[in-house]
Amino acid sequence: MDNERSAVINIGGAEFELILTTRATKEIARRYGGLENLGEKLLKSENFEMALDEIVWLITLLANQSILVHNLKNKDNPKETLSEENVELLTSPLELAAYKSAITEAMFRGTKRNIESEEEAPKNAEVG
């Protein structure tokens, strides 16, 4: 997998790559109204259980992207995708809190090229 686009976490003794794909971005946009709303949603979750639900959903979504890419490229050797229930059973709340940084890293890496190309564009001249 492309390490430039991913962050790796350990769930139940197995490593999973979190990847922000176009498909995952669309799912996140559908749920939160865009990537820019995601951080705010995670930080301002009304309660702990809701914050855990959001992190579990994101980990499941992002970890499954690498599995789905693998399955696309290896049709004769598919891997089983993760379910939110499996992620809940194989993790502790403490681990989930630590995974927040991996989620952020995967998001940053997935959007980095996009941000870099925007920064290279000429800025509007200051009016003064």
User: pLDDT at position 117, please?
Assistant: 46
pLDDT tens for each residue of 17-50: 999 899 999 999 999 887 777 766 666 656 677 7
Q: Residue 3's pLDDT is what?
A: 58
With a cut of 50, list the residues of the chain below it in pLDDT.
Answer: 1, 114-121, 123
Give the span between the Cα atoms of 52 and 47, in whole angstroms.
9
Structure tokens at 80: 């089983």
Query: What is the domain partition of the chain in residue ranges?
Result: 3-115
Distance CA 34, CA 107 (A): 12
Task: State how far the Cα of 80 lies from the Cα of 51, in Å rounded to an integer.
Answer: 26
pLDDT value at residue 126: 52
Q: What is the pLDDT of residue 73?
A: 96
pTM value surpassing 0.85: no
CB 42 within 8 A of CB 32: no
Q: How far is CA 13 from CA 25, 33, 43, 115, 128, in A?
A: 27, 33, 28, 34, 59
Q: Burial of 71 by CB count in 10 Å (0-12 exposed, 13-18 middle, 19+ buried)? A: middle
Look at residue 33 in the predicted model and tell me its pLDDT.
Answer: 86
